[in-house]
Structures are given as structure tokens and as C-alpha cells.
Amino acid sequence: MREPPDAGHAGQRWTMNGSSIGALAYADMRVVWRDPLLKWVLFLPIGLALLLRVLIPKAHAALLVSAGFEAAPYYPLVMGGYLMTPPGIVGMVVGFLLLDEQDAHTLTALRVTPLSMRRYLAFRVTVPLLLATASTLAGYQLIGITPLPLVPLLAISIVGALSAPLLALVLAIAAPNKVAGFAIVKVLNSLNLLPAAAYFLPRPLQYAAGVIPAYWPMRALWSAADHEEYLAYIVIGAMTAALALVLAASLFERKLRRRG
């Protein structure tokens, strides 16, 4: 049976695209390993989880003895804050990688390779999403408070992890360089944690915090921890984050065209 005329070319394009993605992944690992800050920062979610595993029970016991304050009902609030911490850290690292690539004009060089901008952006969204989801799941289980079944925890972690590529793209759009990036990433991560304040507001008033995508996975976690319906919050959170990602990717691509 004869091979269709375009099959060989399609296979070649697929191989070259795969090679380009592999080269990008290898370059990312080299940059992270060589950077004295980025080399360790990806381990922070697990380090923080280990710290919270020790400190939370001690703080709970101390508050109970000294003030008669029962902190356990507020454990979901604490875990809602942790939920958005690994995505914030991963997003920061990937955002700095994007800034490095812009400074080195790597993305301009990519235009003459078979790797399309769509595939490049898919890579830049998928990798931080996977890293943030894995570190959130591991850290959440390690802390050991507010346990959730695996299925809701996985779904909530994925929606929360969508903020990692979103933060990375926004950082790459807003920051002219890495020095300015450190200031901007502090603002972005603060915004990511801000919806935790809505925990103290009654519903539906607290839904106003939903303008920040991070609110919805937090709300889903709080509801799941209280054995309430949480699926609607996961769906709304996924849709909100997806729309924000599409907008950020469009702005990022526009910025690259202006620079090129």
C-alpha cells in the first residue's frame, strides 16, 4: 500500500516539533538548575507542607490552652491558602523562564523552526499545570488536615493549578525584566491569596471575590470540606481560568509580535 504523499512530511513535522519541545524542556531544566534561586524554589511547596504539618497541631494546642480557641473549624481556610501556594511558586518560576527567553530573543528564533506558537503556548501551559497539580496534591496530603477523597481533591487541585500558567503569562506580559518581575510576582501572588478573605463573608456576598479566578477552587475546597456541593464551583473555576488563560496567551503572543 502506497504512503499518501503528505504522510512523510507530516511525520517529519511531528518529529521536528517533538524535538523542539524536547529542546525547550532541556533548556528550561538547565536554566533552573544554574539559577541559585530557581534551583530551590520549586521545592518550597513541599518544604512549606512539612513546616505546616508540624506547626499547625502545635498552634492549635497552644491556642486551645491559652485562649480556649478551637482552631480546627478554620483548617479549610488554611488549606485554601495552601491550595494556591504551589501554583503561585510554579507560575513564578515559569514566568521568569519566559522573561529569560524574551531577553535572549529565543522566541524570535523559534519563528524559523517548525514549532508553531500554538504548540509553544500549549507547552508553556501544560508543564506548569502538571507541576502545580502534582506539588499541590503531594503537599496537601502531607499536611494531613482537612482530608478529602482523591477525586474531589484532584479536581480542585487541577482548577487551582490553572493559575500557574496564568500567573506565568501575566508576569511575562507585565514585567519588562526579571528585576521588575520580582515586584510584580509579589502583587500577583497576593491577588491569588486575596480571595481567602471571602471565607468570612456570607454567601452570596462572597461570590464577588469570584472576579479573581483563585476564589473558585478555594470555594470548592471549603464546600467539599463541609460536605456540601462543590462541583458547580469547580466548573465555574475551570471556565473562569480558561477564559483568563486564553486572554493572557493572546496578549503574550501580541507582545512577542511587537518585539519581533
Which tens digit of pLDDT belongs to each residue from 193-235?
999 999 999 999 999 999 999 999 999 999 999 999 999 999 9
Q: What is the dihedral of CA 118, 121, 123, 128, to 10 degrees?
A: -160
For residue 201, being part of any structural domain is answered with no
CA 15 to chain centre: 29
Q: Give which of 240, 236, 211, 215 is closest to 77, Cα–Cα.
A: 215
**b/e per residue, 44-63, with b = 16+ CB within 10 A?**
bbeebbeebeeebeeebeee
Does residue 6 lie in a domain region? no
pLDDT range class, residue 173, cuts 50, 70, 90: very high
Question: Would residue 226 count as lying in a domain?
Answer: yes
* Residues 119-148, mean pLDDT to the nearest whole number: 94
Mean pLDDT to the nearest integer, 2-15: 42
Residue 7, in any domain of the structure: no
16-20, 155-159, 163-167, 187-191: segment of lowest average pLDDT: 16-20
Per-residue pLDDT, 11: 41
* C-beta atoms surrounding 184 within 10 Å: 18
Q: Is residue 109 part of a domain?
A: yes
Domain count, the chain: 1
> 5 in a domain, yes or no?
no
Rg of the chain taking only CA atoms, in angstroms: 21
Alpha-carbon span 165 to 171, nearest angstrom: 10
Give me the half-sphere count of Cα atoms (radius 13 Å) on the Cβ side of residue 176: 0
* Integer Cα distance of 144 and 179 in angstroms: 37
For residue 181, give its domain range.
15-196+208-259
Taking a C-beta distance cutoff of 8 angstroms, is the pair 207, 195 a contact? no
Phi–psi pair at 28, nearest 5 degrees: -60, -45
Evaluate whether 90 touches 164 at the Cβ level (below 8 Å). yes
Q: What is the pLDDT of residue 7?
A: 40
Residue 10 lies in a domain: no
Asked whether residue 79 is assigned to any structural domain, the reply reads: yes
Which residue, 236, 227, 65, 86, is CA-closest to 146? 227
pTM of the model: 0.88
